[in-house]
Amino acid sequence: MDTMRWKDGSLILLDQTKLPVKMMYITCTRWNEVRDAIRILAVRGAPAIGVAAAYGMVLAAYELLKNNHTITTSDYIADLQRISKKMDAARPTAVNLHWALSQVMTTVNHMTAATAWEITKVLEKQAIAMQHEDVSINTALSTYGADELLKYTNKPLTILTHCNAGALATAGVGTALGVIRALHKKNRIRMVYADETRPLLQGARLTATELMSDGIPVTLITDNMAAWVMKTKGVDAVIVGADRITGNGDTANKIGTYGVSLLARAHHIPFYVAAPVSTFDLTLKTGTEIPIEERNPDEVRCIGEVAISLKNASVFNPAFDVTPHENIKAIFTELGVLQNPDSYTISKFFKQKEVL
């Protein structure tokens, strides 16, 4: 299942809202179609929306050229800036979206002496490179994560995961599911418990499907079973993805992750985050500063198309929550394993790696 494909100047997205019942693709030829696909979660997962947004900006650039063959570079740049802000607003929590758009706009702003056409060609190359780079980032962090887990045991592992941090959420093998895939390659997965992940069921619809299609043993559970599974099924570790990690290691991820981290703590089960460096937002000190997306109340009032409450039931629907860094044993990144994340270990890690 390819999450996205760039073909003949169009972005083809696998429509994840339809999975696993139907495999349908959305062909985007305009930037606002990409923004809408991000909004409705046709493409979702922090790294995937970053790459999709970069392609969305390429579509925007081509649209500007098509609408005005003689557009000046300064008008073109101003228009791209305006569009990038609109794209960025599609989903506020995952910082990878903002990161990818900043990369694009940095390129644009460094090319003021070039023509709009030349800049567009560079943006296209940049988006393609970003997609390829995500593949190698996933592989690197997955290898680090699997090696780290295997330090502690020779036995096959039982892992619990939440939401979908897999191939569908990235351009590669995934982050949390990338680690699981790397462990499976070494015959070290006994079982993966996948939380269904209400309200939109990314665990049931996407994670269970991805793992089953790779022949990785997976058992689907409802979210409220996680504590009992931890108590009775010998869970060795929890691994999740991330949408934004602040300077002290507090981590935003799909709603329910915070609860899972508390349950893991109560059962003395190590809780790991797998995420690329682009998920760190060191402009924020703590998780309280992370903007949390609130989505349409109907996502809670319904399961798929079926209503499960009164139409006017009052609803709270945050799409993400924040796991405090104290609950996280380590973060697996493409640069290595960041142990015991806090302000000190994070700034030391990035200083040593000489990035950010």
Residue 171 φ/ψ, nearest 5 degrees: -100, -10
**What is the 8-class DSSP label of residue 354?**
T
| Identity of the residue, 101 or 319, whose beta carbon is nearer to ligand MRU in the bound complex | 319
For ligand MRU, the closer CB: 61 or 180:
180
Tell me the pairing of strands 218-221 and 237-240: unpaired
Nearer to ligand MRU, 142 or 202 (CB): 202
45 annotated ligand-binding residue? yes
The answer on whether 202 is annotated among ligand-binding residues is yes
Residue of 79, 134, 236, 243 marked active site: 243
Q: Which is nearer to ligand MRU, 60 or 94 (CB)?
A: 94
* Pairwise CA distance, residues 237 & 260, whole Å: 11
What is the smallest separation between the CB atom of 336 and ligand MRU, expressed in angstroms? 18
For ligand MRU, the binding residues (CB under 6 A) are 41, 44-47, 94, 163, 165, 169-170, 175, 202, 241-243, 253-254, 319
Smallest gap from Cβ 320 to ligand MRU, in A, equals 6
Asked if residue 91 belongs to a known ligand binding site, the reply is yes
Closest approach of ligand MRU to the CB of residue 105, in Å: 22
Question: Has 46 been labeled as part of a binding site?
Answer: yes
Closest among 66, 76, 57 to 123, alpha carbons compared:
57
Active site residue 243: yes
**Minimum separation from the CB atom of position 62 to ligand MRU (A):** 26
Decide if 263 contacts 230 (C-beta within 8 A). yes
> 169 vs 277, which CB is nearer to ligand MRU?
169
CB of 120 to ligand MRU, least distance (A): 28
22 annotated as belonging to a binding site for a ligand: no
Q: How far apart are CA 88 and CA 21, in angstroms?
A: 30
Q: Give, as one character, the DSSP assignment of residue 152.
A: S
265 is in an annotated binding site: no
Give the CA angle between residues 87, 92, 98 to the nearest 5°: 55
Q: Which is nearer to ligand MRU, 121 or 198 (CB)?
A: 198
Rounded CA-CA distance 50/30 in Å is 17
Cα–Cα–Cα angle for 350, 93, 289, nearest 5°? 70
How far is it, in rounded angstroms, from Cα 55 to Cα 6? 8
Written in H, E and C, the secondary structure of 54-89 is HHHHHHHHHHHHHHCCCCCHHHHHHHHHHHHHHHHC
Instruction: Report the distance separating Cα 199 and Cα 56, nearest Å.
Output: 27
267-286 burial, b if ≥16 CB within 10 A, otherwise e? Answer: eebbbbbbbbbbbbbeebee
Residue nearest to ligand MRU (CB): 241
Asked whether residue 253 is marked as a ligand-binding residue, the answer is: yes
CB of 310 to ligand MRU, least distance (A): 25
Return d(Cα 222, Cα 229) in angstroms, integer.
10
Q: Which residues are annotated as a binding site for substrate?
A: 44-46, 91, 202, 253-254
Active-site residue list: 243
